[in-house]
Chain A
């Protein structure tokens, strides 16, 4: 956001876009927070916007005809709220904070929010929370180098798994479209892929009781030269995009010969015993420029650097003029 407000900002334009084209700023929500707004999230139904702030509160904004109204402020965290996420069902919301806790909130039909759990499993600042695409399973990433998973068991939320392996702060996590895999990115410059193994799985991975086990099946290292701050898993194409402190965006794809059980990374196309597939870097974007000429023609001319167009083709199902 701009300053302390939550705003829908337009890209830089020298003149206003004609109606129906381009982006326009519809609202600036400047009165809700007293400090940095760290994250915003739309509810699955699209009518609500949640904003997480360093002022230790999370505001819920409801879309009105003429803008947005703050319908409630969720308080309770002791300090900076780092992330907020809506569960796909739309009934649950999760927040996390530098106070090391993850809070789960429930909203009812009357738009009343209630805290259903305060989870103190992490031992350090929690950077990000994200929900499973289909189940009520929550994942969190922390400065304590771990990813934790939570679910509701017997009327209370508990930490049901801890994913250890990263050697430094985990900044973000992302589930794939099925929710069977999780990608985590870290200050240790690696992206790790974790897979869910259920009890009775054919690979012989041991599970305790009825709980699934999450195992790291792939470690993408050597690509990033700085901290990786964010990872995003495309639910349409399966491509993984990363945001890195070395000024580059990278896109990873699973190679055609990759087997579901053990995707792995290798620079060349050779198979090592036990590893059947490879995840390789299909494009990287470095210091890209994008130029667009405002145009009255139906298909305005846009030019990208070569790398950007490769990435665009890999991830976006649209065509670009070169």
Chain B
């Protein structure tokens, strides 16, 4: 580097000012953005987690209730229903609630939903708790 005289340093500061402010601004912005991001992420995560929790919880409550209702019936048809209910309860109890990074989270959730639908079908119950009709579009 060429010998910097006192006057060069001063011009350097002026000339590089924009870049410097840019850099400082970026660092400040990044730090603040990270912080805001974490806050927003936490909010989203707890909302989404609560949704999944409430969905799976509703399946568990439903399954335990039906196990109670059917426990006194011992015919063959019933034993199939009980087996399906046991399977559903088992899946829900095995589900790792504490670990959002569980790699088969979506897959296991879909299996639980599928089992719930099957149980509803066996019990002749509508699994669709939503009110209102969905308009279907053109399809082939």
Chain A contacts to B: CB under 8 angstroms: 54, 75-76, 78-80, 98, 101, 103, 114-121, 125, 155-156
Contacts and interface: CB of A to CB of B under 8 A. Distances in A.
Given A114-B122, A116-B118, A120-B113, 4 more contacts: A98-B139, A103-B121, A118-B115, A120-B110
B80 A114 contact: yes
Q: Which of B113, B117, B128 neighbours the largest number of chain A CB atoms within 10 Å of its CB? A: B117
B76 to A, nearest CB: 10
Count chain A CB atoms within 10 A of each CB in B80, B111, B115, B122 and give the residue with the most: B111
20 contacts: A54-B136, A76-B120, A76-B121, A76-B127, A80-B136, A80-B139, A98-B139, A101-B114, A101-B117, A115-B117, A115-B121, A117-B114, A118-B114, A118-B115, A118-B117, A118-B118, A120-B111, A120-B113, A120-B114, A125-B139
Lowest 8 CB-CB distances: which A-B pairs, in order? A118-B114, A115-B121, A120-B110, A118-B117, A120-B114, A118-B118, A76-B121, A115-B118
Contacts of A125: 139
Contacts of A79: 134, 136
A80 B139 CA distance: 8
B78 interface: no
A190 B25 CA distance: 54
B118 A54 contact: no
B114 A119 contact: yes
A54 B139 contact: yes
Contacts of A119: 114
A225 B113 CA distance: 40
A101 B117 CA distance: 11
B87 interface: yes
Contacts of A75: 121
B72 to A, nearest CB: 21
A261 to B, nearest CB: 33
Nearest to A76: B121
A76 B139 contact: no
Interface in B67-115: 80, 83, 87, 110-111, 113-115
Interface string B38-73: 000000000000000000000000000000000000
Nearest to A78: B128
B94 to A, nearest CB: 14
A28 to B, nearest CB: 24
